[in-house]
Each structure stands twice: as structure tokens, then as C-alpha cells.
Amino acid sequence: MSLRIVFMGTPDFAVPTLTEIIGQGHEVVAVYTRAPKPAGRGLEEKKSPVHLVAERFGIPVFTPKSLKGEAEQVEFASLDADVAVVVAYGLILPQAVLDAPREGCLNLHASLLPRWRGAAPIHRAIMAGDAETGVMVMRMEAGLDTGPVAMAERIAIRDEWTTADLHDRLARLGADLMVRALAALSRGGLAAVPQAEAGVTYAAKIDKGETRIDWSRPARDVHNHIRGLSPFPGAWCEMTLAGKAERVKILRSALVEGAGAPGTVLDGALTIACGEGAVRLIELQRAGGKPMSAADFQRGAGVSAGAAIA
């Protein structure tokens, strides 16, 4: 049975779910997304990825700055939705909005709840060295990602994956999970169970102050830090290039054998000593430049063995 759906989402992560819902023949009566923001040199307003997809399919788009006002809540209720689907929307939903759809609001969250509630679950799972993660569909309530869980899918996190790699896999996995949840809902069979009370962790938004690489940490921690922040905002260090200190983002690395004073370059392949062990830098990005392989970086930078980076 086709459902009457309001979709609420903003970034690229939400796009596969929206397109899958449309492809399944559900009636998406409106899309709510964050308002366009000035971007680029000309500071032209840039619409969100979800906004662009909605326009392509001719779906009405709403971009309120808040849903706390009575006018916004009345407008939302007037859409007469069976259910709202929420994927990385970015605004808090007041109780009046949560209660408006006949079947409430379903949220797709990119972690194995109750682990990594909050804003940056993909980054935090990799930075913490988690062996697995997943996606969950939960019925929303007023608390932060506290609602009962209806469906889940797990995925092992490979040692070389960055946040970008895992993001794309979870976005596709989550889209499939949500359309299955909607199919169950349309048949009246979407049950949900409360989250466990033990094991709650919070995925705080990434702060720029935590992006600098600390080479005194064990190599495993450094590697997880690098891949967890790749590609955005990017883990970084300072290198002396052409006699000048320059900030360089490290986008990919690998765990390798090696030992030395933390931050010491051990060879021409950019193996860097850590507090314990070493990492080899695989992909780097100079300020204002494009990502490049370590070999290409070395052709221009020529960082020598024995150099110290900070």
C-alpha cells in the first residue's frame, strides 16, 4: 500500500533514502530540508542535496528555520501525512510535529543504537576503532535518538575505510532498510522495541580543535583518527616544505612496522613514527590543493627521512 509521506532530510546521506521511497511508489507530499546557505566565492545560495532531488521530482520544498512556531506546526499538520521519514534533517522536531503524522515519525540513524547517539556517528565509530556499525530505523520521540528501534542492519568496518567510504555504504544500506520498514508499516506490522539502557555513547559534533594529529599516540589510534576525519574536516599536521611550515591534511594511511621518535619520517615513502608503531601516509592534501597520492606529494615536496613533522 502506498503511504503519504513527508520526507525530512538535508545532506547527501539522505538522498538514497528519498529516491528509494519515490521509486517504491509512495506519495511524497512534501520535503523539509535546511534552508539554502551562501557558498563559494560569489556567496550564491546553495541548496541542499535533498532540496535539489525534491525539485527534480517536482516535490514541494519547505525550508523553515525552526519548527517551534505555531504557524509552522499548523502548516506541517495540514500536509495530512501517514508518516514522516527523517534522515539527517538537522532541526529539532517539537512534540506537535512528532505527533502530527498518523503513524508518527521514523528516523534513520547511522549507528547501532544506543551506541553513538547524536550528530557524528560515522566519524565517531571509526575514530573509536569500532569493528562494526550499522543503520537503524527508530520511532522518534522527544529525546536525542532515544526512540524504540524497529529495524536494524549491521556492517563490519574494514580497517582501511574512511568516514567517506563508510558513509556511502551506510547511506545505501539505510535506504533499503527504510523502504522495508515502510512496507512493514503499510501492512500494519512495524513493531519497535526499546533501546538497551546500557552502552549509551554520544557522537558529539566534530570540533576543529580535535583535528590535529597527535603522533605521540599509538599508531592504531593515529590511523583511526586520520580515517575517521577523512575527507571532512580532515586530520592534519604541520610539515616544513621549502623551508616553511605548512598545514597538510592526511586523508588516508596504513598501519606498518616501524619505530622512532613520534613524528619522525622514517623513509621516503612517508612512514611516520608514532608513540607505538608507525603509519604510512597514503593520501595527502596541501592547503588549497587537491588530494594526491604520497608518491605524487613526494615528487613536489621531497620530505626526507629523519625530518620531523608536528
Task: Convert the pLDDT of each residue in 48-85 to its tens digit.
Answer: 999 999 999 999 999 999 999 999 999 999 999 999 99
Same domain, 157 and 289: no
State which of 142, 169, 202 marks the end of a domain: 202
Listed in order, strand segments (DSSP E) in 40-90 are 44-46, 61-62, 83-87
CATH of the domain at 271: 3.10.25.10
CATH of the domain at 165: 3.40.50.170
Query: What is the per-residue pLDDT for 39?
Result: 73
* pLDDT tens string 197-246: 999 999 999 999 999 999 999 999 999 999 999 999 999 999 999 889 99
- Note whether residue 196 is domain-resident: yes
Consecutive H or E run containing 172: helix 163-186
Query: What is the per-residue pLDDT for 245?
Result: 93
Q: Which range marks the domain in which residue 107 is found? A: 4-202
Average of per-residue pLDDT across 141-148: 94
Same domain, 198 and 169: yes
Planar angle of CA 183, 189, 190, nearest 5 degrees = 75
Query: What is the per-residue pLDDT for 222?
Result: 98
- Note whether residue 309 is domain-resident: no
State which of 148, 169, 202 marks the end of a domain: 202
- Note whether residue 192 is domain-resident: yes
- Note whether residue 308 is domain-resident: no
Same domain, 8 and 157: yes
Same domain, 104 and 214: no
- Note whether residue 97 is domain-resident: yes
* pLDDT tens string 85-112: 999 999 999 999 999 999 999 999 999 9
CA distances to 15, 163, 213, 235, 253 from 218, in Å: 37, 20, 11, 16, 14
Same domain, 238 and 183: no
CA dist 120 and 90 (Å) reads 12
83 forms bridges with which residues in the sheet? Answer: 5
Segment among 6-10, 43-47, 110-114, 129-133 with least mean pLDDT: 43-47
CA dist 121 and 134 (Å) reads 10
Specify the number of domains making up the chain.
2
Same domain, 228 and 122: no
Cβ pair 266, 305 in contact under 8 A: yes
Cell 521530482 maps to which residue? 57
Query: What is the per-residue pLDDT for 43?
Result: 72
- Note whether residue 306 is domain-resident: no
Same domain, 148 and 291: no
Segment among 32-41, 109-118, 248-257 with least mean pLDDT: 32-41
Which residues line the annotated binding site? Answer: 111-114
Strands 37-39 and 278-286: unpaired
- Note whether residue 71 is domain-resident: yes
Which residues line the annotated binding site for (6S)-5,6,7,8-tetrahydrofolate? Answer: 111-114
Same domain, 152 and 253: no
Segment among 34-38, 46-50, 294-298 with least mean pLDDT: 34-38
Query: What is the per-residue pLDDT for 1?
Result: 79
Instruction: Tell me the whole-structure pTM to 2 decimals.
Output: 0.94
Same domain, 115 and 242: no
Cell 558529539 maps to which residue? 204
Same domain, 145 and 10: yes
Cβ pair 230, 256 in contact under 8 A: no
Same domain, 216 and 109: no
How far does CA 42 lie from the centroid of its chain? 27
State which of 183, 202, 221 marks the end of a domain: 202
The answer on pLDDT for 40 being more than 80 is no
Query: What is the per-residue pLDDT for 44?
Result: 81
Average of per-residue pLDDT across 135-141: 98
- Percent of the chain topping pLDDT 70: 99
Same domain, 56 and 183: yes
Query: What is the per-residue pLDDT for 140?
Result: 98
* pLDDT tens string 166-202: 999 999 999 999 999 999 999 998 999 999 999 999 9
Query: What is the per-residue pLDDT for 42?
Result: 66
- Note whether residue 310 is domain-resident: no
